[in-house]
Homo-oligomer: A and B are copies of this chain.
Amino acid sequence: MKVAFQGEPGAYSEQAVFNYFGQVETQPCESFDAVFDAVNSGQCESALIPIENSLAGSIHQNYDLLLRNNLFINGEYPLRVRHCLIVNPGVKLTDVKKAISHPQALGQCAGYLRTHGIKPEQVYDTAGSVKMLKESGERDVAAIASRRAAELYGMQILEEGIEDNPENYTRFLAISKTASIPEGEAKTSIVFTLKNVPGSLFKAMSVFALRDIDLTKIESRPLQGSPWEYLFYIDFIGSIHDEVSKRALDHLGEYAVMLRVLGSYKRFAPA
């Protein structure tokens, strides 16, 4: 089995692929478009895409790609983002004067770096910073990236989990050409737009509330070209194969201008 992800080998996305799928072959892709193309063309059976981060928010681009492509969500995986301080073998923490990484990763470790008197320097990628450090062989520099990146390049981890805020999770979705019938507790992701009339969102939510269906996500997104129009993302507990969910979506269809079920899948349950 071959699974596509966006980024370079050693990226957090690749780590999520291994955690979720086990030992599969991975296909690094330059962009999210290329990830979807890899599945559409049949080059990869599946892909794992980030859909939201607990600190940075939803990744609208991937919602857009889910709407444009005819692929289905088959599963979800929340990756706890644990940044590692990575050095060339034998280098000690007291030797490290500078840390290189992607600006977002540096920002998330700002407190740790300040405490240890380490100067941040921005490069374009987390996994790429480890590769650069290995090539330069510098002994007063550290890279900040995933455990996987350190292992891939045979580098040493001085400390793991150096992010200031431990509540740093990225939720990934597994996508493929075929819809699966989820076993166990299921979740369903939908996208819809509503007629622009007062109280329309309240009515849309009533279709779930009236049937005691729990929502785990709701988000409105303004459609900038069309003032007063919004896309809504909702995740709810249940499978589209359940009678109650079918009825709720049927009812929602009375208010929605566009309604698309992105997939029903097994809800992630921590081991």
Do most interface residues of chain A lie in helix, strand or loop, or is the interface mixed? mixed
Residues of chain B within 8 A of A61, CB atoms compared: 55-56
How many copies the complex holds: the figure is 2
A205 to B199, CA, bound (A): 10
In the complex, chain B residues whose CB is within 8 Å of the CB of A220: 215-219
- Interface presence of A40 (CB below 8 A): no
Compute how far the CA of A221 lies from the CA of B57 in the bound complex, rounded to whole angstroms: 8
In the complex, A59 Cα to B57 Cα: how many Å?
6
Asked whether B198 lies within 8 Å of A214 as measured between CB atoms, the reply is yes
With known contacts A57-B57, A59-B57, A60-B54, A212–B224 Cβ distance under 8 A: no
Known A-B contacts A55-B61, A199-B212; A107 and B218 likewise in contact (beta carbons under 8 Å)? no
- Residues in B whose Cβ lies below 8 Å from that of A123: 124
- Kindly state the separation between the CA atoms of A199 and B198 in the bound complex, as whole angstroms: 21
Contact of A224 among B33, B56, B169, B202 (CB under 8 A): B169
Closest chain B CB from A207 CB (angstroms): 10
